[in-house]
Amino acid sequence: MATVRPFRGLRPEAELAAKIASLPYDVMDTEEARGKIAADPFSFLTVTKSEATLPEGTDAYSDEVYAKARENLVNYVKSGKMKQDKMPCFYIYRQRMNQHIQIGLVATAAVEEYRNGTIRRHELTRTEKEQDRVRHITVTKAQTGPVFLTYRQRPEISSYILKLMAEREPVINFIADDGVRNTLYVVDNPIDIQEIIRLFKAVPAFYIADGHHRCAGAMRVADKYEKDNGAKDPSAEYEYFQAVIFPDNMMEILDYNRLVTDLAGHSTDSFLQAVREKFAVKSVQKAYHPETRHTFGMYLGGLWYELKAKEGSFDPKDDIASLDVSILQDNLLAPILKIGDPRTDKRIGFAGGIRGLAELERKVDSGKYAVAFSMYPTLMQEVMTVADAGKIMPPKSTWFEPKLRDGIVVHLLEDL
């Protein structure tokens, strides 16, 4: 049984929402953030990437950075740019990217349900990135961006959410620089709030689509509060973390493509010969995006190839081994290109499918990379199956679009 809880969200004034809302902190580097803040000083990146407001060369994990994040967050409230709702609310968040629409519930989810597996993960986390989230939450006393959750869709929930949208006007509605329309509705009627809580009690589990480090960080913050207080406080804000929760039938996973800097000592001919041992290789005339599972595109030496995994090259009954990211890793990246651990190997790079195949061509043609692979997107069902089994997917298996915006609703652990 999954729990959702309303909260007193901190929101931007409607006319400032388009200026304040920002992409997540982890999809850009400091210099990109610095440029965006220079173009729009209201950007919420001043909180989520606060090192970009400090002198160049500032350590992104220094005490000064977290203190600056807190200072900038407080300034949004002091200046009247953002205000906290007086009563706990739910929020409905609608995004449209081209023809794709996704509608989710903004709520807080229970840390305890992450601990006990009701909220399920499919990725490993890295200690240093967890610690960054712990410090950011602890110093700002806020969760400044949501965890992206999904669940197996239930028609009664979708129908009720659509009804609530039809009954009210949005409080935020803007098109971001990337063309994504972001729309927010406030649900503050106590009867509606109780009905949402009741409907979600029938949901057996949530799945983390994006935000594993935010989730793990929130748990570690709650652990510390509990230890310091000597007990759990089920009503405390730190026992919950902000999330946007979408039904699985609205989720869109794009391909997460691979690039490798060199051919590990192979010539082009010997490399292709090695690839043909586990893949059927065919030349194609233009940039190739796979149309079915277990098929890959490869860009090498200015030419595109279609690769099809041969029968016997993987176990189709194994949830992990049959993933396309595993097939490529186990049959090509590891044995031929010597990429042992794609989480840490500096010879491999990744490109989200939103950037297109031209990005792969550009990076290989520049000489920075020797070969690129276009992937068929991981299926949402594959993600949930792996998570249900308590297993972990290989790194960089999923790329979700559109990205949720930070700064549209903020969950405060303590009132400002």
pTM: 0.93
Q: Which amino acid is at 372?
A: A
CA 106/CA 367 separation, integer angstroms:
44
Q: Decide if 199 contacts 154 (C-beta within 8 A).
A: yes
Is the pLDDT confidence value at 126 over 90? no
Residue 395: predicted pLDDT = 86
As a whole number, mean pLDDT of residues 225-253 equals 95
- For 25, 70, 82, 141, the CA distances from 74, given in Å and listed in that order, are 18, 6, 9, 10
- Taken in order 286, 290, 294, 296, the sign of the CA dihedral is positive
User: What's the average model confidence in pLDDT over 210-214?
Assistant: 95
Q: What is the mean pLDDT of residues 153-159?
A: 98
Cβ atoms of 399 and 374 closer than 8 Å: no
Residue range 124-142: average pLDDT?
95
Average pLDDT over residues 68-77: 98
Determine contact, residues 238/411, Cβ cutoff 8 Å: no
- CA–CA separation, 403 and 67 (whole Å): 26
Give the per-residue pLDDT at 132: 97
pLDDT for 416 equals: 84
Q: How far, CA to CA in Å, does 192 sit from each of 3, 109, 202?
A: 15, 18, 16
Per DSSP, the residues of 171-239 read: SEEEE-TTS-EEEEEEE--HHHHHHHHHHHTT---EEEEE-HHHHHHHHHHHHHHHHHHTS--TTSGGG
Helix (H), strand (E) at residue 240: strand 240-247
Amino acid making up residue 401: E
- Please state the rounded mean pLDDT for residues 171-185: 97
* pLDDT surpassing 90 at residue 146: yes
Banded model confidence at residue 5, pLDDT cuts 50, 70, 90: very high
Q: What is the mean pLDDT of the chain?
A: 96
Residue 27 CB neighbours (<10 A): 12
Q: Taking 90 as the threshold, does the pLDDT of residue 231 lie above it?
A: no
Based on its alpha-carbon atoms, the radius of gyration of the chain, rounded to whole angstroms, reads 22
Q: Where are the domains of the chain?
A: 10-252+401-412, 254-377
Q: Tell me the C-alpha distance between 113 and 117, whole Å.
A: 6
Q: What is the pLDDT of residue 197?
A: 98
Fold of 254-377: 3.30.1760
Q: Which of 38-52, 95-109, 287-301, 391-405 has the lowest mean pLDDT?
A: 391-405
Residue 305 confidence (pLDDT) above 90: yes
Structure confidence at residue 343 as a pLDDT band (50, 70, 90): confident
Q: 3-state DSSP call for residue 337?
A: coil
**Cross-strand bridge partners of residue 241:** 109
Given this model, what pLDDT does residue 30 score?
95
pLDDT attached to residue 106? 98
188-208: average pLDDT: 98
In 99-169, the DSSP E strands lie at 100-110, 119-120, 142-143, 147-151
Task: Write down the pLDDT at residue 344.
Answer: 87
